[in-house]
Structures are given as structure tokens and as C-alpha cells.
């Protein structure tokens, strides 16, 4: 059983998902992979984790860097989890590239190389938008590429962090 609640952000309605104690998803409406971590049994309910997440989002959308992360529960392959953990370390207001993440994963695993495309796939399947800041990942030439919520939302989120 999973639970959902909603947050009306300045850039659109966000659906928040939980297992009752941890955050398992955060999606913009019509985003690719919307609700990907939700079970078929869903109840709309207000929970403490939703209040904490909404507080985080209020701080974020006011142009500030939240100094906490809501409790997350992420279920995925080891590779995806390692990519998402790197995303969590990208500083507010800064960006990195798929290639830089691939290089960091390769170093962690003692490998010569990891595909930046594989990293892109993991970044794209991030179920907790904004909080796990996949919008901070850009192409090697500084191009805005790939965002499940669309490139316009990615641009808005990056601009929000430059206030």
C-alpha cells in the first residue's frame, strides 16, 4: 500500500508518494515515468513525511537551499542507486555532466569506463524529482538535455537556484 498527496508548486502540481514513513516519489504531472514507484493500491492521505516534503519544497521554491532531506526509500538496481547517490551530492546552484558522473561511478567500481548513456538512463528514472536533483545534470557542452518533466521545467528549476 502506498500513499499520495499533492503540492501546488509555482510551476505546476506535484504528486508526492510515500510508503507511510519515507518518500518514494515526487513527480510533476505528465512527467515521463509518473508514479513509477507506486503500487496499485494508493490512498490519498496527509502524512508527516508529506508535511516535511512540502516544507522542503516551500524553502526550495522560495529560492533557498533546504538544509535537510526528507527520509527517502529508494528501490532500484545498485547502479541506479549509485547514480542517485551522486545526484544527491551535487551542490545547490551547481551542475555536473553525465560524463562526470560516469567517471565517478567508474572510479568507485574500479573500472576504466562507464557509459554516460547508462548514467543518463539512471538519471532519467530518478523517482524523486527536485529533491534528488537530476535537473542539475547537463550535457558535456553545457546543453540542457533530458528531463522527465521536460526541458522547460529543467530550465526553470536551474534558474530558481540562481536567484
Question: Which pLDDT does position 62 carry in this prediction?
Answer: 95
- Residue 111 CA to residue 134 CA, distance in Å, equals 24
Per DSSP, the three-state class of 53 is helix
pLDDT digits (tens, 9 = 90+) for 74-96: 999 999 999 999 999 999 999 99
Whole-structure pTM value: 0.92
Mean pLDDT of the chain: 92
pLDDT value of residue 143 = 82
pLDDT digits (tens, 9 = 90+) for 115-141: 999 999 999 999 999 999 999 999 888
**Mean pLDDT, rounded, for 53-79:** 96
Q: Active-site residue among 134, 137, 153, 158?
A: 134
Is 57 a known active-site residue? no
CB 126 within 8 A of CB 57: no
The residue written with cell numbers 496527509 in the block is: 46
Q: What is d(CA 142, CA 6) in angstroms, rounded to the nearest whole number?
A: 33
Q: By 3-state DSSP, what share of the chain in percent is helix, strand and coil, each rounded to 5?
A: 35, 20, 45
Residue 29 has pLDDT above 70, yes or no: yes
Amino acid at each position: 500500500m502506498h500513499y499520495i498527496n499533492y503540492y501546488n508548486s509555482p510551476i505546476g502540481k506535484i504528486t508526492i508518494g510515500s510508503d507511510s514513513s519515507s518518500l518514494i516519489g515526487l513527480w510533476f504531472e505528465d512527467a515521463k515515468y509518473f508514479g513509477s514507484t507506486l503500487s496499485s493500491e494508493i490512498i490519498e492521505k496527509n502524512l508527516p513525511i508529506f508535511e516535511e516534503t512540502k516544507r522542503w519544497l516551500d524553502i526550495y521554491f522560495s529560492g533557498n537551499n533546504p538544509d535537510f532531506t526528507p527520509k527517502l526509500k529508494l528501490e532500484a538496481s545498485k547502479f541506479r542507486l549509485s547514480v542517485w547517490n551522486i545526484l544527491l551530492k551535487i551542490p545547490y546552484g551547481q551542475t555536473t555532466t553525465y560524463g562526470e558522473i560516469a567517471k565517478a561511478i567508474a572510479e568507485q567500481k574500479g573500472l576504466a569506463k562507464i557509459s554516460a548513456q547508462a548514467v543518463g538512463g539512471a538519471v532519467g528514472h530518478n523517482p524523486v524529482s527536485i529533491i534528488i536533483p537530476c535537473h542539475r545534470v547537463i550535457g558535456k557542452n553545457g546543453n540542457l538535455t533530458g528531463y522527465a518533466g521536460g526541458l522547460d521545467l529543467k530550465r526553470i528549476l536551474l534558474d530558481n537556484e540562481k536567484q
